[in-house]
């Protein structure tokens, strides 16, 4: 889940791609590689943020402190809201690509070589706390989706300068554009009497889907053709929501209902967008809601022992406080679904979700699985 709305608060081709791997530095193939595409470009919130918020001086939505990163190479906090790598990292590794660096880390006088390399293999534009609507980001000082797309336009110019227009078009048509966003907009709706008075849940979630459609079209207009779009999970089942929801710590079903409404609007929007674009867009929608529900319902099947508590925190369900240097964290992170009170997944959980995306079992993905998408 993305960062909650308080301060204490989605691979990736062929011969041409292999040629690029030889030409640009830092393109070492990762173990566990299941295929190749030339680049992966990531948009979203704290589920996939690789550290962009580290570069926002006044943002309160950061994870560049312990115990975040305890299992990341070098055991250092990088700005990922996780004990280790996140879902965007896992996707890139699965397809033999380097981890997409945060866009803001590529700016500056001495970053040209790294920026050129990343422009080809992939860049992460995601920002913890970000939303589809710009208003979702004002309190936290983050990068809303529209601004993330603006940043992509900058990378697109860089890529065009390197490869030329024709090769850029080929490259982008085979790359993966991953979008993981929406939960923070729902957190906003939960917490705002003004928003709830102005819009009923159906109206608000439809407006979310409509606004996302605008940004997907902007990305598509630059030459993007393959999209992985991840639905909103059961945010009512995060440790923080459970901890507040009675003595028996059940899920907040009202919050989950609103998530379902948005996912329904999202699925319809994607179908309509594909029709409007006359099949120049292909996509995989991943049902994060159902996948999380199934993991919580049968944790042992997926290798988890605790699917209600946070690994890092204090108090009931380890959800009284965020994950901070002064809090405790679990000894075996591979057995926990959630890293913190906000519902960010552990690295083990993130890898489980990516495995489900790549699975031949289509119960979580439509109209294509991720594997089918990159083969299309």
Catalytic residues: 46, 340, 344
Close Cβ partners of 308 (under 8 Å, ≥ 6 residues apart): 237, 239, 242, 249, 296, 317, 338
Q: DSSP class of residue 5? A: S
Can you tell me which residue has the tokens 């040209």?
Answer: 112
**Cis omega before residue 295 (within 30°)?**
no
What distance in Å separates the CA atoms of residue 146 and residue 106, rounded to the nearest whole number? Answer: 19
The two structure tokens encoding residue 5 = 């709305």
10 Å CB burial of residue 278 (0-12, 13-18, 19+) is exposed
Residues 82, 347 contacting (CB under 8 angstroms):
yes
Q: Dihedral of the CA atoms 49, 224, 38, 374 (nearest 10)?
A: 90
Instruction: From residue 179, give the alpha-carbon distance in Å to each of 40, 230, 231, 301, 350.
Output: 11, 6, 9, 27, 15
What tokens were used for 78? 């990088």
* Cα distances (angstroms) measured from residue 207 to each of 7, 182, 186, 265: 26, 11, 12, 9
For 83-106, give the DSSP string.
SS--HHHHHHHHTT-PPPPBGGGG
Q: How far apart are CA 299 and CA 295, in angstroms?
A: 5
The structure tokens 């990088």 sit at: 78
CB 185 within 8 A of CB 201: no
Lookup: tokens for 322: 């965020």
**Structure-token pair, residue 249:** 């710590």
> Residue 284 belongs to what H/E stretch?
strand 282-286
């Amino acid at each position: 889940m993305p960062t909650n709305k308080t301060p204490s608060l989605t691979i990736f081709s062929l011969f041409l791609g292999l040629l690029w791997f030889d030409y640009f530095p830092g393109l070492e193939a990762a173990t566990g590689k299941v295929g190749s595409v030339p680049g992966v470009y990531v948009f979203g919130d704290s589920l996939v943020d690789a550290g962009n918020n580290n570069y926002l001086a006044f943002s309160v939505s950061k994870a560049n402190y312990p115990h975040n990163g305890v299992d990341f190479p070098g055991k250092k906090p990088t700005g990922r809201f996780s004990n280790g790598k996140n879902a965007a990292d896992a996707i890139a590794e699965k397809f033999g690509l380097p981890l997409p660096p945060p866009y803001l880390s590529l700016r500056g006088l001495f970053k040209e070589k790294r920026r050129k390399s990343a422009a080809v293999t992939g860049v992460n534009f995601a920002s913890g706390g970000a939303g589809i609507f710009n208003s979702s980001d004002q309190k936290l000082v983050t990068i809303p989706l529209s601004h993330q797309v603006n940043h992509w336009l900058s990378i697109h110019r860089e890529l065009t300068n390197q490869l030329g227009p024709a090769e850029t078009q080929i490259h982008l048509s085979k790359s993966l554009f991953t979008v993981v966003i929406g939960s923070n907009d729902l957190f906003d709706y939960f917490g705002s009497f003004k928003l709830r008075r102005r819009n009923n849940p159906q109206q608000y979630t439809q407006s979310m889907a409509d606004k996302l459609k605008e940004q997907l079209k902007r990305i598509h207009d630059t030459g993007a053709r393959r999209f992985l779009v991840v639905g909103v999970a059961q945010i009512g089942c995060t440790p923080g929501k459970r901890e507040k929801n009675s003595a028996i710590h059940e899920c907040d079903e009202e919050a989950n209902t609103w998530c379902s409404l948005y996912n329904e609007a999202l699925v319809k929007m994607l179908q309509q967008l594909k029709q409007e674009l006359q099949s120049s867009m292909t996509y995989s929608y991943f049902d994060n809601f159902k996948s999380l529900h199934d993991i919580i319902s049968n944790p042992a099947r997926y290798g988890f022992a605790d699917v209600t508590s946070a690994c890092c925190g204090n108090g009931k369900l380890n959800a009284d406080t965020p994950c901070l240097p002064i809090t405790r964290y679990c000894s075996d992170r591979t057995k926990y679904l959630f890293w913190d009170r906000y519902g960010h997944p552990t690295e083990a959980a993130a890898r489980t979700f990516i495995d489900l995306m790549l699975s031949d079992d289509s119960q979580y993905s439509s109209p294509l699985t991720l594997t089918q998408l990159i083969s299309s």
